[in-house]
Structure 1
């Protein structure tokens, strides 16, 4: 166990009031993994001021030089990949096989935006007359306040930090307190790469203190948030009161439509991996399987077998599924299991707290499958953020699309079908930001836009790829009369 301080203006410092918090191993809560300085309002304000002072020089740094720092940071992360993978598992709980590709994703994101920094320019246009040159330039907005969640504790900070820095913004990062170690590793890698003081700042702490400063401080120019819908809407409303640019990516209740033309084996694999991977703790997790009546019974039989075959255990042992991240997340899942039973859905398997042998001190639950789930129920409508799958029967494709769209959320959706016409129709009619055909709802490429609609997103700006660069920049149009 070690103490990780705040990183403000190029220094690792304790919180002004000396407060700290501990992070426990979710697979064994008797073990404290790390301690962290807990930032407060004054710490966040100091970080914002440091970022503001550093921003003009960072903006004037040639973009290829900024990219070089990102590239060196990526190389450092790559050198420490095995250590970071184990640290992520230790704090957040996901299996080593799930943590490893997440760390690799963060590395790839930094390499990607290191190269994109070379393209951080504008466009030349043909003028309407005269000898005028007409072109655009892209400029950073200034200080970026980034608020990131615990469920992807290195990938999500990476896909916010890297484009922000590549485009000349400075950053104050508030990671989730459940698993901040991976984000701290990004900051250390940037420090080792020679990033100037004040350009990146790391302030773990509460939303009511640190988060409040990042959304309301007059010197913060833009805010990017990932987390729950309730908090996301609050962050967005606060940030935009004084016209900050803001984006919030939030929850999901993601469906997989299994049509009569589906390959059943593929359907079970896609739904099972999407529902129970990373313990269901993903905004893109599949929590609703909507199945054509012709395949319903056999699908239920096979998905139950799939769930029961998953080995649950400590992430460091690399089982099929790890623990929940906290007691409150575990309690929420168990509560929803009770809700499902009370609403009349059939619990086919799972949904039990696992406390045998080496699981007794962790936040373990068995993967749950409910059938005969009515679309009007809470189990069908509300985000659970745990390994709970609701299976609903539909009579045809049109009903399946209608049921899939019957949600306040609209993040990711999948269709399993061998009918190309059905696939195209689903793409056209699905009310979501990400559509997948014959794939699980989870898993994203880093170079394409990501975001949702409805209550899954403020739907103002997308993340990742070129869209990530767009969010962190503004366009200036230039007329040059020679």
Structure 2
């Protein structure tokens, strides 16, 4: 007798209640490592659902705002404790739903816990300054007030950390929230919201609904009762959201694409540089906005570096992220796989030399998933699509430079400016890189990907709206300054 395992349907969370969408339509969430594995069903929400969620957040905002910062922080501490209890379950769900390895999703969940604890502590920190007045009999000071209702639009590549690093500061600074996760990882987000529910957040303070970005995401941008929007995703969508928010005077924060370079100077530690490039480019299957995608190498060491890089790349094991032997999992979806394969084809058409990879991986279990080989191109020129455009996959373009100055010019020769790294032991090269590299995150002798939660994060040029997330910098977006004069 065959036992059928029932696949759970996950509802929207609005005003403290889990409920189906008004449309009664649902979408499947599939495992990219095995497309026959259905993770769950999620709601296909519409404008009516969004209006209900926004109304709930609007009604809850006044009581939430009037709590002290430490009281709001206590809720975040409780959510962190619940998430900690469920770390294995939620990490496994994220691996099944997004594809990255279990080691990575456990680390990401641990980071989410740390973010919640960090911002819980923010509830006890200062929110203003006393400013001398020209009137000796007056007192003048500043304080900070929440925006009101904040719309959170999060991507699929970090389904735990990114929603939390947006939700936690929004909440501790007194805002209520409406969260719209990427459809590809909506089940993981629902499990995170369950942690907030178990922590006892008042009804309406935290709301989540799932559905297409063209309806729910754009609806958040257009909604007159949403006072601030924090978005991470593609440049095209981000610009649409920014334009819609600007048109109605809402505050917005956009974190978008990257085309991140690593410069390897002639004096670099080659083994260190190669290992960092491989980790930065191929962990999470290259699906990080800070992933390494261009490697600019001094001509003096180019041949040796290339040889070591290709050798180590060929040793990478590709498979299901739940398998402990897997180093790199699949692309997160069929669409993403096709995007990566199309860029590989463009690289070949433009005349780049394929050193390794370049094909869909189909051996054994890989046949049912969205796997692609880690890919390295040589003989790349600055104007090629694989050098200029964000691929969001495990593809490296190698470039040769005669000097660090030329390497910096090549590094800056793109529309993005999110992160960048250099490997060098020369202090002058290091200082030139810090001063001249056009990127919001600069890393020395370390991979391009990654930022610590207590530090500001954001990009330059077309990588962001020039605001910053995480650390104390989050306060700048999620609050407004109020100046008080007392006579």
Paired residues of 2:457 and 2:468 also in contact (CA < 8 A):
yes
**Structure 2 CA distance, aligned partners of 1:420 and 1:265?**
20
Alignment of 1:378 with 2:385, yes or no, is: yes
Tell me which of 374, 387, 391 is aligned to 2:398. 391
**Structure 2 CA distance, aligned partners of 1:170 and 1:284?**
29
**2:465 corresponding residue in structure 1:** 458
**Structure 1 CA distance, aligned partners of 2:184 and 2:192?**
17
Match of 1:435, SS state, is strand
Match of 1:315, SS state, is coil
**2:341 corresponding residue in structure 1:** 334
Alignment of 1:356 with 2:363, yes or no, is: yes
Tell me which of 178, 188, 208 is aligned to 2:194. 188
Match of 2:56, SS state, is helix
**1:266 corresponding residue in structure 2:** 272
**1:424 corresponding residue in structure 2:** 431
CA positional deviation for 1:122: 1.4
CA positional deviation for 1:31: 1.1
Paired residues of 2:39 and 2:187 also in contact (CA < 8 A):
no
CA positional deviation for 1:120: 5.0
Alignment of 1:247 with 2:253, yes or no, is: yes
Paired residues of 2:319 and 2:330 also in contact (CA < 8 A):
yes
**Structure 1 CA distance, aligned partners of 2:123 and 2:35?**
42
Tell me which of 290, 293, 315 is aligned to 1:287. 293
CA positional deviation for 1:129: 2.8
Paired residues of 1:120 and 1:167 also in contact (CA < 8 A):
no
**1:40 corresponding residue in structure 2:** 46
Alignment of 1:408 with 2:408, yes or no, is: no
**Structure 2 CA distance, aligned partners of 1:444 and 1:309?**
27
Alignment of 1:235 with 2:241, yes or no, is: yes
Root-mean-square deviation (CA, aligned residues, Å) is 0.8
Paired residues of 1:120 and 1:138 also in contact (CA < 8 A):
no
**2:137 corresponding residue in structure 1:** 131
Match of 1:121, SS state, is coil
**Structure 2 CA distance, aligned partners of 1:278 and 1:122?**
40
**Structure 1 CA distance, aligned partners of 2:336 and 2:153?**
19
Alignment of 1:209 with 2:223, yes or no, is: no
**2:149 corresponding residue in structure 1:** 143
Q: Number of aligned pairs?
A: 480
Match of 1:119, SS state, is coil
**Structure 1 CA distance, aligned partners of 2:54 and 2:270?**
53
Length-normalised TM-score, structure 1: 0.99
CA positional deviation for 1:212: 1.9
Q: Any gaps of 5 or more consecutive residues in structure 1?
A: none
Deviations 1:345-396 (A, max 9, x none): 1100001111111111000111001011101111110110000000001111
Deviations 1:6-60 (A, max 9, x none): 0001100000010111101110001101111221111011101110111011000
Paired residues of 2:29 and 2:187 also in contact (CA < 8 A):
no
- Structure 1 segments, 4+ long, off by >3 Å, are none
Paired residues of 2:32 and 2:333 also in contact (CA < 8 A):
yes
**2:225 corresponding residue in structure 1:** 219
Length-normalised TM-score, structure 2: 0.98
Alignment of 1:86 with 2:92, yes or no, is: yes
